[in-house]
């Protein structure tokens, strides 16, 4: 039973994320030894999200191939649950968080890299790994959107889930500062308390906008094909 190209592509993307995560975790950086470890960085959280998402995609592909021609209703129900989980992750996490990480990172990097990715990190993180974390995420998620139709949740539920994720991460960043006295991102050191609130509100709005962009783009691609 041969796999179709898009299934092979998803498996290759999953392997690339596993490689990126393994190489990143193998780096002996001082920041990894402090409170929160790698989990304080949205980039790392996004890499885990993408790896889990594409893992579910591959699992869905394999389940679909194995159940093809099988009349078992239980297997069909399980497959539908996997597809629903895959679509939800794409809509609420993989696309908006992935696009947010890429656009925000490179926007701030171009303005002043020291605010988000100090030059000191070049001694620890090679250029290819930096692009694996902050660049290839975007084409990978766009390829997935182009090759597979994803059923988005209702807009209110989707936006509520995205807001919950954004608020959860903002509270996590604030908690780390409360415990350590150091902000995760150097950019925050330069903002007054009032400006920080505006900044956090702005990034929450931006990630919600990316959710809506994903929904519109998904509908445009597949409505056009229909």
* Domain locations in the chain as residue ranges: 6-224
Tell me the C-alpha distance between 132 and 79, whole Å. Answer: 31
* 118 pLDDT more than 90: no
The predicted model scores a pTM of: 0.92
In this prediction, residue 176 carries a pLDDT of: 96
Query: How many residues are listed for the chain in this entry?
Result: 226
* Letter string b/e over residues 87-121, b meaning 16 or more CB atoms within 10 A of that residue's CB: bbbbbbbbbbbbbbbbebbbebeeeebeebbeeee
pLDDT of residue 198: 96
User: What percentage of the chain has pLDDT greater than the value 70?
Assistant: 96
Q: What is the mean pLDDT of residues 16-43?
A: 90
H/E/C letters for each residue in the chain?
CCCCHHHHHHHHHHHHHHHHHHHHHHCCCHHHHCCCHHHHCHHHHHHHHHHHHHHHHHHHHHHHHHHCCCCCHHHHHHHHHHHHHHHHHHHHHHHHHHHHHHHHHHHHHHHHHHHCCCHHHHHCCCHHHHHHHHCCHHHHHHHHHHHCCCCCCCHHHHHHHHHHHHHHHHHHHHHHHHHHCCCCCHHHHCCCHHHHHHHHHHHHHHHHHHHHHHHHHHHHHHHHHC
Query: What are 2-17's pLDDT values in tens digits?
Result: 455 888 999 999 999 9
Judge residue 170's burial from the number of C-beta atoms within 10 Å of its C-beta, 0-12 exposed, 13-18 middle, 19 or more buried.
Answer: middle
- Write down the pLDDT at residue 168: 97
pLDDT over 90 at 156, yes or no: yes
**Tokens found for residue 132:** 């694996």
pLDDT score, position 29: 82
Q: What are phi and psi of 74, to 5 degrees?
A: -65, -40
Q: What is the mean pLDDT of the chain?
A: 91
CA–CA dist 163, 158 (Å, integer): 9
Residue 161: CA count within 13 A, CB half-sphere: 18
What's the average model confidence in pLDDT over 15-24? 95
Non-local CB neighbours of 94 within 8 Å, separated by 6+ positions: 49, 50, 53, 141, 144
Over residues 84-94, mean pLDDT: 96
């Amino acid at each position: 039973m041969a796999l179709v190209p898009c299934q092979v592509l998803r498996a290759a993307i999953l392997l690339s994320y596993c490689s990126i995560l393994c190489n990143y975790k193998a780096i002996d950086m001082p920041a990894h030894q402090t409170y929160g470890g790698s989990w304080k960085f949205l980039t790392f959280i996004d890499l885990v999200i993408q790896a889990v998402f594409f893992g579910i995609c591959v699992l869905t592909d394999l389940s679909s191939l194995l159940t093809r021609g099988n009349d078992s209703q239980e297997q069909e129900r399980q497959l539908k649950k996997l597809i629903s989980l895959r679509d939800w992750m794409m809509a609420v996490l993989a696309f908006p968080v992935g696009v947010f990480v890429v656009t925000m990172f490179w926007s701030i990097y171009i303005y002043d890299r020291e605010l988000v990715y100090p030059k000191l990190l070049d001694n620890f993180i090679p250029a290819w790994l930096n692009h694996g974390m902050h660049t290839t995420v975007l084409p990978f998620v766009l390829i997935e959107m182009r090759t597979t139709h994803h059923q988005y949740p209702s807009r209110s539920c989707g936006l509520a889930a995205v807001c919950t994720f954004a608020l959860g991460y903002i509270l996590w960043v604030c908690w780390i500062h409360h415990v350590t006295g150091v902000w995760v991102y150097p950019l925050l050191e330069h903002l007054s308390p009032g400006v920080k609130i505006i900044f956090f509100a702005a990034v929450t709005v931006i990630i919600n906008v990316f959710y809506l962009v994903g929904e519109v783009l998904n509908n445009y691609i597949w409505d056009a094909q229909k």
